[in-house]
Structure 1
C-alpha cells in the first residue's frame, strides 16, 4: 500500500494487497492505478492506510451472526459527518466492485444491513469530486461563483444530478441498477440550495434573500412583518429592524410561533409580564433587557435577537442557557426556508429521503446551513446548537 501524487494524493494498493480479497478486474485496476483520495470533505479511506483490506467479518466480534452477503464485504473507509468524524463505514464488494455503507452494530451484528453508495470506485470518486466542486464553486461548477438565486440553484442541481445519473448508468452497463442512491440524490437536490441567497450587500445582514423568496415558499402574506411601534427601544440594529419591517419571518405555528399579537418584549419584560413559571430575574441571562423575544421554538426554547448586534439567540428555559442560534435574521429566515423547501422536495419524492436515509439527509442539511451560516460549526463552535440537534433528531420529525 502506498500514498502517491504531488498535487492530489491518492491511496493505492499493490497486487499483493488485493490477492484473496478482490477478484473484480476493474476494481483491482482502480486500486492499483488512480487509487482513492487521501483527502476528501465527504469520505475518509484512513481504514485502508491503517488496517489494509479487511472484511466485515474480521471487524465484528461475532461474524457468524452476519448475513452471508455482508460477511465478506471489505471495509475501506467511511462517510464523514459535518464535524469531520467518521460515521457510516464504506464497504466494497470484491467480486462486483459495488460500494455500499453500513453502521457497525457490534452488539447485534445480525441486525446490520447495507445501503447503496456507488456501482464502482470510479463512480464513487466522480460523485464525491463533483459534490466537493459544487461546495467550493470550482472545477465544473466554477461558473456559479458570484451567481445566486433560485434559477442558479436549479441549474446547479440539474448539472450535479446529471453527474450522478451518468455514474449510475455505468453501473447499469455492468449489470447494476440505474437508480441514483439516496445519498447522492439528496446532495443533488439539497446542497445547491446554498446558492439561493447571496452575501449581504444590500441588506447589511449576512445574506441577501431573493425578493419574495419567503412569499413564494410559504404563501403571500405568510411571513409576519412588524412595525416600528412593535419594537422596543433596545432594538437599535437598523438592518434587523428593516428586515423585520419589510421582509418578515415565516411562522408555521409548530416549529416557530412569533409574538405578533403584542409589542415585542425584551426577555426581562416577558418574564415580568407572563407567568414566570419559576424563572426568577436572577435566572435570566446577562443583558436580558437588551435581548428581544421574537417568539418561541419547539421544546420551550425562546427565539431572541440581540437588539444592539442583531445576533439571533436561543434561550432554553429548561436549563437556563443562552446559546447562539443564527448569525442574524437573514440566516434565520434562510434556515426556515431551507426546512420548508426540504419538506417539499421529500414530498415530491414520496418521502424517499426521510425513509431511506434520514441520517444522511440530516448531515446534508447541516452542511448546507453551515455553508451560509457558520453558527454551530467547527468554525464557530458552541457546546450545543439547536438546529444541528433538531435536524439530527429523527423522532422529532422536523425534516
Structure 2
C-alpha cells in the first residue's frame, strides 16, 4: 500500500492486496492506479491506511451478526460527520464496485451511497465546490437569498442525478437540499451581526403576524449591544418555531427577573450565573431550557434551569434566527418529499443540517468534541427536531 502522491496524499493498493477481494475491473484499476485521496471534506479513506483492506465480517467482529450476503463487503472509509456524531463506514462491493454505508458498532444495515468509486469522488468534489463557491458554483459567489440557494440546489441535484441514473442516494439528496441553504442569508455587512437576515425571510416562512418585533421600551437597561437591539426591533424572532417558543410577554426579562417571577414557593433555578442581570431571556428552547442572550456581547446561550448552567447556542440573534428558519424550512422540504429523508436517512439529514449551521455560524457546532446543544437536539430522532 502506498500513501503518497504528487502533492496530494493518496492511497493505492497493490495487485497482491486486492487479490480476490476486488474483481470489478474499473474499481481494481482505480485502487491500483490513481488511488484514493487520503481524505476529502466529507469523507476519509484512512481506515485503509490503518487497517488495510478488510471485510465487513472482520471489521464488525463481535456481538453483531453480519448477514451472509454482506460479509465480503470491504470497509474502505468513513463519513466525516460533524463533531459529536458517530462515524458511518463506507463499504465497497468488490464484485460490482457499488458503495454503501453502514455503522459497524450495530447490526450493519447498508444503505446506497454511490454506484462506483469514481462517481463517489465526483460527488464529493462537486459538494466541496459548492462549499467553496468555486468550479461549477463560482457564478454564485457574492450572491445570497432564497433564489440563489434554490439555484445551487438545482445545480447540485442535477449533477448527482447524472451520476446516479436519476436515483440519488439519501445522503447526497440531503446534501443537495440542505447544504445550499447556507446561501439564504449573506454575511452581516449591514447588521453588524454574523448574518444579514432579511425580515421578509422570517415573515414568509412563519407567516405575517407570527414574528415578534420589539420596541425600545421592551429592552432591559443591560441590553447594551446595539446591533442586537436593532435586529430585535427590525427583524425579530418567530413567536413559535421548532423547539423554540418566544417570550411574547414584554418587556424582556433579565435572567434574574425571570428566576424571581418563576421561582415562587419551593421552586428554584439553582444558583444563577454571576452576570445574570446581563443575561436577557428570549424564550424557551426545550423543556427546562431557556434561550438567553448576553446583553453586552450579543452572544446567544442555552441556560439549563435544572442544572443552572450555560452552554453556547448561537453566535448572535442573527444566527439564532437563521437556525430557527432552517429547522422550519427543513420540515417543509421533507413534507414535500413525503418524509423520505426523516424516515430513510435521519442521521444523514442531521449531519447535513449541522454542516449547514457550521457554514454560517462558528458557534454551531464547535469544531471540537465539546457538548453542543444543536448537535444534541438534531441527533435526537425521537425528540422531534427534524
TM superposition score category, shorter chain reference: over 0.9
Task: Give secondary structure in 1 for the equivalent of 2:287.
Answer: coil
Q: Is the 8 A contact 1:63 1:71 kept in 2?
A: no
How many residues align? The count is: 385
**Contact 1:214 1:250 (C-alpha < 8 Å) held by counterparts:** yes
TM-score of the superposition, structure 1-length normalised? Answer: 0.92
Could you list the structure 1 runs, at least 4 aligned residues long, displaced by more than 4 angstroms after superposition. Answer: none
Instruction: State the alpha-carbon separation in 1 of the partners of residues 213 and 159 from structure 2.
Output: 41
Contact residue 12 and residue 33 of structure 1 kept, 8 A: yes
2:149 equivalent among 129, 153, 168: 153
Determine the structure 1 residue equivalent to 2:171: 183
Tell me by how many angstroms 1:63 deviates.
Answer: 9.5
Structure 1: state its 5+ residue gaps.
170-177
Question: Is the Cα–Cα contact under 8 Å of residues 3 and 9 in structure 1 kept in the other structure?
Answer: yes
d(CA) in 1 for partners of 2:167 and 2:7? Answer: 33
Q: Deviation per CA, 1:63-85: give whole Å up to 9, x if none.
A: 99422220110111111111298
The answer on whether the counterparts of 1:191 and 1:368 sit within 8 Å (CA) in structure 2 is: yes
Q: CA separation of 1:27/1:99 partners in 2, compared to 1, >3 Å: closer, same or farther?
A: same
Distance 2:42 2:369 in 1: 22
Question: Is the aligned partner of 1:78 residue 2:65?
Answer: no
Give, in whole Å, the separation in 2 of the partners of 1:101 and 1:194. 26
Secondary structure of 2:70's counterpart equals helix
The higher relative CO (CA closer than 8 Å, separation ≥ 6) is in: 2
State the superposition RMSD in angstroms.
Answer: 1.9
Cα distance in 1 for residues equivalent to 2:135 and 2:220: 49
Provide the C-alpha distance between the structure 1 equivalents of 2:224 and 2:334, rounded to a whole number of angstroms.
40
Contact 1:79 1:86 (C-alpha < 8 Å) held by counterparts: no
Question: Out of 374, 377, 385, which is 2:372 matched to?
Answer: 385
Deviations 1:263-294 (A, max 9, x none): 111111111222355326x7001211111111
Q: Which residue of 1 aligns with 2:92?
A: 92
> What SS does the corresponding residue of 1:338 show, helix, strand or coil?
helix
From 353, 365, 373, give the equivalent of 1:365. Answer: 353
Q: Is the 8 A contact 1:101 1:117 kept in 2?
A: yes
Task: Indicate the SS of the match to 1:143.
Answer: helix
TM-score (norm 2): 0.95
TM superposition shift of 1:222: 1.3
What secondary structure does 2:139 align onto? helix
1:279 aligns to 2:275 (yes or no): no
Mapping for residues 102-251 of structure 1, pairs under 5 Å: 102-105=102-105, 111-169=107-165, 178-251=166-239
Q: Which moved more, 1:310-319 or 1:271-280?
A: 271-280
271-280 or 364-373, which moves further after superposition?
271-280
Counterpart for residue 46 of structure 2: 46
- Would you say the 8 A contact 2:82–2:354 is kept in 1? yes
